[in-house]
Chains A and B, each alone.
Chain A
């Protein structure tokens, strides 16, 4: 791979073993500044484990993760359960990430959470929670945003909406994005590079080249062809896709 600049994050030969079973093996890749990298793979392929390893929440059995000196990670977790006995409003929660929320009104406006400030976290819908968590991650002014896919409570339309917002915000934020998805329909738009994971990296590259890769087709089979059709629509018919997917 040609890289003019130093990567923000580089994984070299990462392997993770849980109870004598290898969950990840021989994972090597890097994330360049301002790059959007999407990690896809079927459920149980080790996506969340890889994310946790990159974040440093999990120590790999083999290999290591090298981080740039100025790396600042913003993280959106896969699940966020709110303890019902803990009364906390969106505003108070966001204050844990940033002291002066007054200066961040533009971000909140873009994410559409301005009117949620006084709401308790436990009363948010799945989609609202996602946007609040994104605001939380962005408030730290990261140069790498890591998003694990949401498990529950967010419909596909909401998810596309969220990614769309993210693309808008990226220019303003100037940061790299590493995101995870198991849903091929949600992956491709604006992604610089796709990494296909199934315990090891099956293939990686530009979305177009990955789509034609035999390893990718073997992993996703029939649905892969389907996603190709959707992908070609994606750039200019964002809302149509959102509409189609809403049942």
Chain B
């Protein structure tokens, strides 16, 4: 196996691992569109990173976290429905990101790669980042599992039990921001949410408990990454989209099986 393919596989599996437990919460809490908005804003982070010569992973996390914060503030003050608000933020930050990147003509920024992913160009260093973030996010989710689950089931019960649902929601947003920052290179800002949602939705058809659903989602995500990489290698397909189509294919299979 070529080394670039091995790197791609390593990186992709690491991402699938973490998108399982995070993805189930995105599905349960109906945060899919929110995830998409955060991902759209990631390009602005990339642009800023290149502009300020800082590692884009850091600036993406920062921009996503800022967006999540401003969304929480806007949601509590605004009379607009949250999907309208998300739509405004998603597309204005994406456009702003593209403009910033366009300004950096002196630098070579692969816009297409950031939009749709360029997993074959991933470096060992970037893989290290993926696993570091995956480990951190996984530890936090496991630690907060019970609290997150109760908040997801019923906010009032969680409050009476002394939990802080808004704080937990915000933590979940930050975790999402971190995962987006490392996932961007692999699957692209426009496709990240699919890797969070499709395996989780697929796992729902088989899972008997929340924990099972999270683990199954990880495994299904890993299958999708492997299938997508293989298809991309043998048929010369764009890799990010090939992974997403594989995931969608698995989802279809799961519906038929049912």
Contact = CB atoms under 8 A, between A and B. Distances in A.
A83 B152 contact: yes
A151 interface: no
Contact of A89 (B28, B29, B157, B209): B209
A54 to B, nearest CB: 11
Q: How large is the interface on A (under 10, 10 to 19, 20 to 34, 35 or more residues)?
A: 20 to 34
Interface of A: 52, 55-57, 73, 75, 77, 80, 82-83, 85-89, 92-93, 96, 136, 140
Interface stretch (B53-61, B80-88, B200-208): B200-208
Contact of B152 (A56, A73, A86): A86
B154 A77 contact: yes
A96 B150 contact: yes
Given A85-B28, A87-B209, A56 B159 contact: yes
B149 interface: yes
Contacts of A52: 156
Interface of B: 27-30, 146, 149-150, 152-154, 156-157, 159-161, 200-201, 204, 207-210, 212-213
A85 B210 contact: no
B146 A96 contact: yes
B210 A136 contact: no
Given A82-B153, A136-B157, 17 more contacts: A55-B159, A57-B156, A57-B160, A75-B157, A77-B154, A77-B156, A83-B152, A83-B153, A85-B201, A85-B204, A86-B28, A86-B153, A87-B204, A87-B209, A87-B212, A88-B209, A89-B208
Given A96-B146, A96-B149, A96-B150, A87 B157 contact: no
Nearest to A57: B159
B210 A87 contact: yes
Contacts of A89: 208-209
Nearest to A97: B161
A83 to B, nearest CB: 5
Nearest to A75: B160
A93 B146 CA distance: 10
A238 to B, nearest CB: 30
A86 B210 contact: yes
A96 B213 CA distance: 17
Given A83-B152, A85-B28, A92 B157 contact: no
Contacts of B156: 52, 55, 57, 75, 77
Contacts of A85: 27-28, 200-201, 204
Contacts of B152: 83, 86
Contacts of A57: 156, 159-160
A140 B160 CA distance: 11
Nearest 6 CB-CB pairs, A to B? A75-B160, A86-B28, A87-B207, A77-B156, A57-B159, A85-B27
8 contacts: A55-B159, A56-B159, A75-B156, A77-B157, A82-B153, A83-B153, A85-B28, A96-B146
A140 B29 CA distance: 26
Nearest to A82: B153
A140 B153 CA distance: 17
Scoring A55, A57, A88 by chain B CB atoms within 10 A of each residue's CB, the highest score goes to: A88
A136 B157 CA distance: 10
Contacts of A55: 156, 159-160
Given A87-B208, A89-B209, A92-B210, A80 B154 contact: yes
